[in-house]
Structure 1
Amino acid sequence: MNRTTVSLVGVLAALAAVIGIAFALAPSGAGTTPVSTAAVRKPIERSTLLCPAPTDSDYASTTYTAYTPPGDSNAPSGNGSGTAQLMPAQIGDGTGTVKNAPGAGQPVDPLTAPGKPVTSTKSSAAPLVGTATGSLAPGWTVQETTTIGVGPGRGVLGMSCTSPGTDFWFPGASTSSDRQDYVHLTNPDPTPAVADIELYDSNGTVQTNGASGLTIPANSSVPILLSTLTGEQANDLTVHVAVRTGRVGAAIQAMDTKLGSDWLPAAAAPANSAVLPGIPADATSVHLVAYATGSSDANLKVQLLTPTGAITPAGNQTLDVKNGLTASTDFPSLTQGQAGSLVLTPADPGNAAPFVAAVRITRGNGASQEMAFLPSTGPIGQRATAADNRAQGTTLSLAAPGGDATVKVTASAGTSGGAPVSRTVTVKGGTTMAFAPPQPSGGAGSGSYAVTVEPISGGPVYASRTLELPQDGLPMFTIQPMGDDGGTVAVPQAGQDLSILER
């Protein structure tokens, strides 16, 4: 027997011994029963949020409200440890040059414990980049609310600070003479990001200058005025931000000389259907903008989910969205005094095509008008959160386009005190329920509080929160869609499967 044969015999003998020991020490059946790989949901341990710079108007005041819902104390991240705070980022000019933002190095809204919102007011315009870890990461939510008392941009601009990503769609932007729309790109990472901005109007692709290969320096935010990218004026634009390298947060700040101002958040990812939940009952005008993102036209059936059921708006039963073109339509008296939600589905289910959509909602008349935007949003999976709710002027809207849905609505302990309060409600299938959410009990009645929505049973639920802050006769308001807050992630189960040693 040569040396090679002896070595091979030795290896096989050693392997057999290892297998024998493994089977001897393994639990009964470990070598023969397949291991379950079903995923379980666990709390995330790190979260990043980006808040674009608010307007630098001398008449603006911005409030930031941060909140993390209380979690399971038995979960790995529920042991009370963790940090959560926002820090001012640098401001870029689009050429690679950056400068420090006001308040550099000073943390904003640091949290100390879940379930307790923190609020601060700032007069300076600075983009913010924040990270939450440990028990403060799951569901960490920050609301940026800016009030401009006078001037052409007067109004309320509200937005939920966003997570970074690589692909964003914004139907509802504009380069008309009445509008100033800035797309804010914020890079939270220590390396530069590169992105392209594409514009589409009712005729198709808009020719642009300087919109490709934009560099967003590390830990900085770059605001870009859309009208500087093209010489064309378009009342309705769809903006697509595609990130080549890295990741960014993206949002559009829209200012109208007649209708005030607000943030236009990104729409839900392109899909064959869309839900836009929570159009106020007193909306005087609803302007719908949609864009077909695929290679086919999207012929859409339009329905409004009212508190009593689904109806088809007279004269607007369908909307044809040609591939590559932005389409729009007006609903001058859509709600008829009842809050509702728009649902867009394929007119022919056999010819569905992906699209994105958003509405511009106007309240008031004449010189006393104010606008807000509501894009399509995804259903609440595990939980949705809205921070900065007020004792007056807060409306929660829940839409159930399918079957009945039961949810739990919880008001946190407020910034001015009070204990959390929960309420369970059932939304009938095919309807919208709009109501004032519960408020913390025993509070001082001022300050702000957070609201969480958790589905309990039934069909999918879509949600938004309307915040009204009227001033001097102006119906100033803002609407924030409430998608899933991403507090948990699916983790596949892992276990030993010694049967692989027999193969």
Structure 2
Amino acid sequence: MNRSTLSLAGAVVVLAVLTGAASLTGGDDSAAAPAGSAVRLPVQRSTLVCPAPSQSEFADTTYASFTPVTTTEGGGTGTGSGTGSAQLATAADKPTVLSPPLKQPGRTVTYTTEKTDAPALVGTADGSLAPGWAAGQTTVVDAGPGRGLLGTSCLTPDSEFWFSGASTADGRQDYLHLVDPDDAPAVVDIELYGKDGLLKTSAGDGITVPGKGSTPVLLSTLATDKAADLTVHVVVRSGRVGAAVQATDASHGADWLPPSAEPATTLVMPGIPADATSVQLVAFAPGSDDADLTVKLATSTGQISPAGHETLHVKAGMTASAALGDITKGDAGSLILTPGNLHAPVPVVAGLRITRGTGSKQEFAFLPATAAIDTRASVADNRDKAATLALTALKEEARVKVTSWPGAAGGTAVSRTVEVKAGTTLSLQPVAATAGKGSFAVTVERLSGGSVYASRELALPLNGVPMFTIQPLPDDRGTVEVPKAESDLTILGK
């Protein structure tokens, strides 16, 4: 076969691939964009990982799985051919699938375990159950040193993570959980940054995470320094992982520390509870320049400057912290960090450690800086009168649709549309959509207006302890922009 014949054959293959891709991604012809433009279509496959829960013999963990009903640009709900599947399974060569599996969008399924050796999980969703698939785990430890409410959303695997507010101080025990969803091992480097910069670590480089497996790393074993406020940087050399920090405090309970949003010049931490008794801000500037930040609290009526903490200076490569006390004063709010006026904007990462209660009845949770919701976000496990949403708008008012979706016990989806005024935080309890006291899912959709930032607090008080956990709600990235492709046989003659 000569070269010109090979070129012709290659062109036919490319043409077939482009034409096939346009037809197999799903969607209605009526929703097609004009030739040469792009259309947003639902994703066809999603992967999530869930870290191993608490090993306490007093732990009770609930997993929840949910996919929202996806609407295409044309107004339809088509998500491609087939019904799809979504399942969580143990991260092992011979995985054990947890039941019941998710069978349809718009319905929550749950699974509960009391096993002390409950493993990390890897989940995959495809077809109609892939767009916006959300899963989470909620653990109640009612006694012992790990007493608390631990909640985390299952994570999308990635190659880099930042954590603000970890600790190696006496009384704290922080484990970084790394989960590899793929067959091949992943290699990970861990960096710890304190108030004086990078900590010397003895074993933070080249940590191997087995394929389809997990590795817990006790942070205090990596460095001899005792630091109360740390920034943790996780960099994956090869492969990909999901990463989360499980923090246990001798007097403040336990919870998961989620990864922070990527470094940015403006950061939002939405949803500080109204009754917070102590709030600790932890920030880090990963570049070569210092950051000067303006600190604001977005309350239900507008933005205010916290007295004595109007600004924060963060030295390059060093972790800065500020004790904000009971900053909310009975009015739930969101912390906003913006560049100061003295110097050029510098990207930073940041997060909050939030405490509720006093004395021996204290409980803490973490709230990292959170990415904005462009279109939609979901949280899978909510309980009647225990879940609270926090919605924050910055410079522009935003119109938001909040929908509660039923669980296995049955029920009807309930929606409401709310307005979030510019520079404010709106706190609301979603209406339960499930009969009885079962778990239900909630979606937050930005309909119009400016950027929206959101989180969900779950409060399950026990024996006088205000046990709670907070999960940030970034955009679910349930759709992807696909270029419009059409067959054009004239390219064969060029």
TM superposition score normalised by structure 2: 0.90
Match status 1:485 vs 2:487: no
Q: Using the alignment, how far apart are the partners of 1:426 and 1:88 within structure 2?
A: 41
Q: Secondary structure at the match of 1:367?
A: helix
Unpaired runs of 5+ residues, structure 2, are: 9-33
Q: Using the alignment, how far apart are the partners of 2:328 and 2:55 within structure 1?
A: 35
Name the CA shift for 1:109/1:206 in 2 (closer, same or farther; >3 Å): farther
Work out whether residues 87 and 108 of structure 1, in 8 Å CA contact, stay in contact via their aligned partners in 2.
Answer: no
Name the CA shift for 1:217/1:372 in 2 (closer, same or farther; >3 Å): same
Match status 1:315 vs 2:305: no
Letter in 2 for 1:38: S
Looking at CA atoms only, which structure, 1 or 2, has the larger radius of gyration?
Answer: 1
How many pairs does the alignment contain? 461
Instruction: Please provide the CA RMSD for this pair.
Output: 2.2
Match status 1:340 vs 2:333: yes
Q: Using the alignment, how far apart are the partners of 1:80 and 1:408 within structure 2?
A: 28
Q: Secondary structure at the match of 2:357?
A: strand
Q: Using the alignment, how far apart are the partners of 2:38 and 2:419 within structure 1?
A: 29
Q: Using the alignment, how far apart are the partners of 1:390 and 1:232 within structure 2?
A: 41
User: How do 1:249-268 residues align onto structure 2 when only pairs under 5 Å count?
Assistant: 249-268=242-261
Aligned to 1:126: 119
Name the CA shift for 1:128/1:109 in 2 (closer, same or farther; >3 Å): farther
Unpaired runs of 5+ residues, structure 1, are: 1-10, 15-34, 91-98
Match status 1:446 vs 2:446: no
User: How do 1:287-298 residues align onto structure 2 when only pairs under 5 Å count?
Assistant: 287-298=280-291
Q: Secondary structure at the match of 1:351?
A: coil
Q: Using the alignment, how far apart are the partners of 1:445 and 1:349 within structure 2?
A: 56
User: How do 1:158-177 residues align onto structure 2 when only pairs under 5 Å count?
Assistant: 158-177=151-170
Spell out, residue by residue over 1:52-97, the C-alpha distance to the aligned partner (whole angstroms, 9 max, x if none).
000110000100010011224855525551111011114xxxxxxx
Q: Secondary structure at the match of 2:39?
A: strand
Q: Using the alignment, how far apart are the partners of 1:143 and 1:225 within structure 2?
A: 23
User: How do 1:351-500 residues align onto structure 2 when only pairs under 5 Å count?
Assistant: 351-440=344-433, 443-495=434-486
Work out whether residues 83 and 112 of structure 1, in 8 Å CA contact, stay in contact via their aligned partners in 2.
Answer: yes
Aligned to 1:17: none
Aligned to 1:227: 220
Q: Using the alignment, how far apart are the partners of 1:263 and 1:220 within structure 2?
A: 19
Aligned to 1:27: none
Q: Using the alignment, how far apart are the partners of 1:72 and 1:265 within structure 2?
A: 29
Q: Using the alignment, how far apart are the partners of 1:445 and 1:194 within structure 2?
A: 46
Aligned to 1:204: 197
Work out whether residues 80 and 113 of structure 1, in 8 Å CA contact, stay in contact via their aligned partners in 2.
Answer: no
Q: Using the alignment, how far apart are the partners of 2:342 and 2:259 within structure 1?
A: 26
CA apart distance, 1:256: 0.3
Letter in 2 for 1:68: T
CA apart distance, 1:502: 9.1
Q: Using the alignment, how far apart are the partners of 2:127 and 2:406 within structure 1?
A: 21
Letter in 1 for 2:41: K
Work out whether residues 66 and 109 of structure 1, in 8 Å CA contact, stay in contact via their aligned partners in 2.
Answer: no
Q: Using the alignment, how far apart are the partners of 2:220 and 2:200 within structure 1?
A: 12
Aligned to 1:142: 135
CA apart distance, 1:331: 0.9
Aligned to 2:41: 42
The 4+ residue runs of structure 1 with deviation greater than 4 A are: 73-76, 496-503
CA apart distance, 1:109: 4.4
Aligned to 2:320: 327
Work out whether residues 291 and 346 of structure 2, in 8 Å CA contact, stay in contact via their aligned partners in 1.
Answer: yes
Q: Secondary structure at the match of 1:227?
A: helix
Letter in 2 for 1:456: L
Which of 86, 89, 112 matches 1:87? 89
Q: Secondary structure at the match of 1:135?
A: helix
Spell out, residue by residue over 1:215-248, the C-alpha distance to the aligned partner (whole angstroms, 9 max, x if none).
1111001000001111111001100000010100
Work out whether residues 201 and 236 of structure 1, in 8 Å CA contact, stay in contact via their aligned partners in 2.
Answer: yes
Q: Using the alignment, how far apart are the partners of 1:439 and 1:46 within structure 2?
A: 29
Q: Secondary structure at the match of 1:130?
A: strand
Q: Using the alignment, how far apart are the partners of 2:390 and 2:200 within structure 1?
A: 39
Work out whether residues 292 and 321 of structure 1, in 8 Å CA contact, stay in contact via their aligned partners in 2.
Answer: yes
Work out whether residues 305 and 432 of structure 1, in 8 Å CA contact, stay in contact via their aligned partners in 2.
Answer: yes
Match status 1:55 vs 2:54: yes
Letter in 1 for 2:460: L
Q: Using the alignment, how far apart are the partners of 1:490 and 1:262 within structure 2?
A: 36
TM superposition score normalised by structure 1: 0.88
Q: Using the alignment, how far apart are the partners of 2:394 and 2:71 within structure 1?
A: 30
CA apart distance, 1:453: 0.6
Aligned to 2:64: 65
Q: More displaced, 370-379 or 121-130?
A: 121-130
